[in-house]
Structure 1
Amino acid sequence: MPSPSDDAAAASAIRAAGDEVRPVADPHPHALLVWAHSYRDAFARHPATIAVFATTALDGAGRTTEMYERVVDAFLRAGWPEDDVMTTLVALEDFILGAALDAVAPADMFQLRSPDDAPTLSRVTAASRRSVPGRGPRRRVRLARLSS
């Protein structure tokens, strides 16, 4: 069970990550993209906070509440139906937090002891490594469009 000092350290790290997130300035999809990238980058710098952040109720958490208010407002002003905004936000946030963890993961996550263990996986991993020299199969996924 986490101690109060663990909880305080996690809360402090979450605040630090939140301080690094750029606010959504306008409803244009580019503004959401800037927010998403800053969100991913902030949590990539503080990956240990992701589990706490993702499992802690918002409950009026100051700056975090303000950030979500701006994000959902940007979705609405960009024309998203009100009843789709939260589902979309949760899916996007799940993707972003996963990308933050991916950003700090070792580049050789799919390295097998023997290609015979999974020949198809070995083949596509090798093909990916050839297509992105020095990067291996872990590419940055670009959020090219946040709305249709």
Structure 2
Amino acid sequence: QESLTSLDLNTIDAPIIEIIDGFSKLPYCFTLQSCYGHFLHKNQENPKNIEPLPISDSIARVKYRIAYIALCIQNSDLGRVLFQHLRRIPVIDPEYIQFGCAEWFWKRQVNSYVLQIEPKRYITKDTGSVSYQEALHIEMVRNEFFNGLKKIT
């Protein structure tokens, strides 16, 4: 309850406010942290930018800052149902979406889980350098991921 009362929707990346708000209304879970994911390149250096990648033949590399949502899920019947829904999300693209328990979150909050979108080779990193073509793929996966979360809430 304490986390919900201190939730400031203005601090959340605009494209996922509705999703985070939806999770905040579920009495059996709460959001610990989230990020929409950000693509930085020679024409876009704002680390908080939420713009789609431009169509370009001049961008070779993109720095990707991961998209993720960390949730604390109550160990109850409804919490377990939510857990089952969330663990199916990676089927969108298992090479780019991971679901599990992040040790760092679990130390602070038991029953916490993370869904993140990033290439498996960067599984323990917050950022990674990818080709422009791979960034386009990540963007597509990220958008489908958040659409899937929207359906759950």
**Same fold at TM > 0.5:** no
Shorter-normalised TM range: under 0.3
With normalisation by structure 2, the TM-score equals 0.26
Greater share of helix: 1
Greater share of strand: 2
